[in-house]
Amino acid sequence: MNRQFPLAGLLRLRRLEQDQAAARFGAVNAQLRAVGAQQASARADAEEIPSDVDSSAALLAVAAARAASASLLAELDALAAAAEAERGKAQHDLTSARARTVGLEKLEARHDALVDAAELAAEQGVLDDLGSSARLRQAPAAAAGRGGSTT
């Protein structure tokens, strides 16, 4: 039996695809964490906007700051939603790539088991032949030894 797995090249390709999908999934998760950190920072900044004002100019400044914060938070929420959707797609791609790889890995394991069994059977056959030929060589010598001692 052929020692090398016939689909080894395809299995390498599937593993590369799985690695690429895992890397993409990791990058998307990192992007999602970064957006989450930006959102937390923007919310903290928005909470620090003073609410007590003593002049109309201060009131206008507070209103502008709140509007800017609300706009920034809305943009960050949209970015987070897009990143979450991208994360779902990346996770699906990773799961699909893993499923394709697992099937080939099972075939490879089965092939390796068959090759090992064939090698063991061949080795056992050689050992059996050696044992039987040694027994055959010893049988005439034992018969000659028994025949010579009775005379």
Mapped onto helix, strand or coil, the DSSP state of residue 120 is helix
Q: How much is the pLDDT for 27?
A: 97
| Contact residues for 83 (Cβ-Cβ < 8 A; gap 6+) | 28, 31, 32, 35
End-to-end CA gap in the chain: 55
Flag whether pLDDT at 149 surpasses 60: no
pLDDT reported for residue 124: 92
pLDDT higher than 90, residue 135: no
**Mean pLDDT, residues 3-31:** 95
- Going by pLDDT thresholds of 50, 70 and 90, the confidence category of residue 24 is very high
3-state secondary structure of 49: coil
pLDDT of the residue at 1: 61
Report residue 50's pLDDT band, with 50, 70 and 90 as the boundaries.
Answer: confident
d(CA 122, CA 29): 52
- The pLDDT assigned to 148 comes to 54
pLDDT in tens, 63-122: 999 999 999 999 999 999 999 999 999 999 999 999 999 999 999 999 999 999 999 999
Question: What mean pLDDT is predicted for residues 56-65?
Answer: 90
Half-sphere exposure of 51 (CA within 13 A, CB side): 3
Please state, for a pLDDT cut of 70, what percent of the chain lies above it.
91
